[in-house]
Amino acid sequence: MQRKRVAVLISGRGSNMAALIEAAKDNDYPAEIALVLSNRPNAGGLGVARAAGIATDVVDHAAFGKDRAAFDRALQAVLEKYRIDIVCLAGFMRLLTPGFVAQWPERMLNIHPALLPAFKGLDTHKRALAAGAKMHGATVHFVVAEMDAGPIVAQGAVAVHTGDSEAALAARVLAVEHRIYPAALKLVAEGRVQVVNGQCLIDGMPVPGLPV
């Protein structure tokens, strides 16, 4: 099977990107990381990607001012240049326009550090602690125009411990992120994920529930 060409879009340290690069080193993995693309020239993950021999590119959002559509067109041009099949957002801190999102139906994934639909947006760990949540986790989902929405491909849960700090909880969730993102991308790259009535089916079955 032809491996799918994946672009990972980052804004920061890129630990999820690194997990995807690591998984794709396996020849049996159905995707290759063909490009790491950042909206910030100084994103830490760019160096990590280069050190791993992955092509990198930057589309600096600052150069586009408030013109999100122009920024998204520039992103699209780079993705086309690298003949990308699947886009993985991994700590990519820009909202994308509906027009851009529409060009990647069921071909763009995001990882969010919460059990969606709970805790969309930023500061998820702090908010989970403040809410007294007993379970927390991470979600990989297809990207739709609405932020942190879209059909769920995979979730992983962790227990919230009594007295947890935000940093301790974030680290526990991050370890889960690094497992579920490569697993979710594998399923998508293998063509095993189908969206029916707004929900993902994997090999025709609902996404498995979480262990309790």
Q: Footprint of ligand GRF on this chain (CB under 6 A)?
A: 10, 12-17, 90-91, 111-113, 174, 177
CA 50 to chain CA centroid, nearest Å: 19
The answer to whether the beta carbons of residues 154 and 183 sit under 8 Å apart is: yes
Catalytic residue numbers, as ranges: 112
Q: Are strands 135-142 and 152-159 parallel, antiparallel or unpaired?
A: antiparallel
Task: Locate 85 and state its tokens.
Answer: 């099949």
> What is the C-alpha separation between 171 and 158, in angstroms, rounded?
11
Q: Which CB sits closer to ligand GRF, 3 or 12?
A: 12
In the bound state, the residue with its beta carbon closest to ligand GRF is: 91
> Closest distance between ligand GRF and the C-beta of residue 81, in Å?
24
Reduced to 3 states, what is the DSSP secondary structure of residue 118? coil
Q: In this structure, what are the phi and psi dihedrals at residue 120, rounded to the nearest 5 degrees?
A: -70, 160
> Closest distance between ligand GRF and the C-beta of residue 54, in Å?
15
Q: Are strands 86-89 and 108-112 parallel, antiparallel or unpaired?
A: parallel
> Closest distance between ligand GRF and the C-beta of residue 91, in Å?
3
Q: Which CB sits closer to ligand GRF, 17 or 49?
A: 17
Q: Which CB sits closer to ligand GRF, 113 or 182?
A: 113
Q: Which CB sits closer to ligand GRF, 16 or 100?
A: 16
The answer to whether the beta carbons of residues 156 and 137 sit under 8 Å apart is: yes
Q: Which CB sits closer to ligand GRF, 73 or 94?
A: 94
> What is the C-alpha separation between 16 and 108, in angstroms, rounded?
15
**3-class SS letters over 12-40:** CCCHHHHHHHHHHCCCCCCEEEEEEEECC
CA 146 to chain CA centroid, nearest Å: 15
> Closest distance between ligand GRF and the C-beta of residue 112, in Å?
6
> Closest distance between ligand GRF and the C-beta of residue 93, in Å?
8
